[in-house]
Structure 1
Amino acid sequence: MSDMMQRSEDVYGAPIPVRTDRFFAAQGAWYFSTREGSSIGPFEDKNEAKRGLEDFIEFMTLAEPKTLDQLHNALAS
């Protein structure tokens, strides 16, 4: 099997979680959902929502732990 083929297990043998579409439209606007279960938006179209998700992921990757804790608390409320 080629490395380029989709695998049903990761390198440690654990099943890879099923991915769902993070993007949805509501009342004429587009949103994305976070792993924490929050909806982020509105965006003008799906492409804008995709760019918003990319920005969100970049922020989550680069943010200091204290900032991430504050964000998680805000999203949970």
Structure 2
Amino acid sequence: MLHRRRGENGPVPYRNGRFHCINQQWFFATREQRLVGPYRDQDEAQAALENWLAPAITNRINRFGS
């Protein structure tokens, strides 16, 4: 699901390039352009990314509200 970032107006822009399949193994890319993985499939990589981001999201909610 695509989400609008704070301060963005209009339709949610398409964001691509977070997930990569290399030799039938899946990775996700961080902002620092680091590939994290490998994972068996894109769903597993998606779940790992959500776990990776969870502390930052929780911290942001605690600091700024939902």
TM range (shorter): 0.5 to 0.7
Max Rg structure: 1
SS at structure 2 position matched to 1:35: coil
In 2, Cα distance between equivalents of 1:59 and 1:11: 22
Query: After TM superposition, what 4+ stretches of structure 1 lie above 4 angstroms from structure 2?
Result: none
TM score, norm. by length of structure 2: 0.61
Between the aligned residues of both structures, percent identity stands at 31
Deviation at 1:41, TM superposition (A): 0.2
Tell me how large the CA RMSD over aligned residues is. Answer: 2.6
In 2, Cα distance between equivalents of 1:31 and 1:20: 13
TM score, norm. by length of structure 1: 0.53
Partner residue of 1:27 out of 8, 20, 23: 23
Residues 1:28 and 1:59: Cα distance change in structure 2 (over 3 Å): same
Counterpart for residue 56 of structure 1: 52
Amino acid at match of 2:36: I
Which consecutive unaligned segments of at least 5 residues does structure 2 have?
1-5, 60-66
Which consecutive unaligned segments of at least 5 residues does structure 1 have?
1-9, 64-77
Residues 1:12 and 1:54: Cα distance change in structure 2 (over 3 Å): closer
How many residues align structurally? 52
Residues 1:38 and 1:12: Cα distance change in structure 2 (over 3 Å): closer
- Offset from partner CA, 1:8-61 (integer Å, 9 cap, x none): xx6478xx8862230010011000000111000000000000001000101334
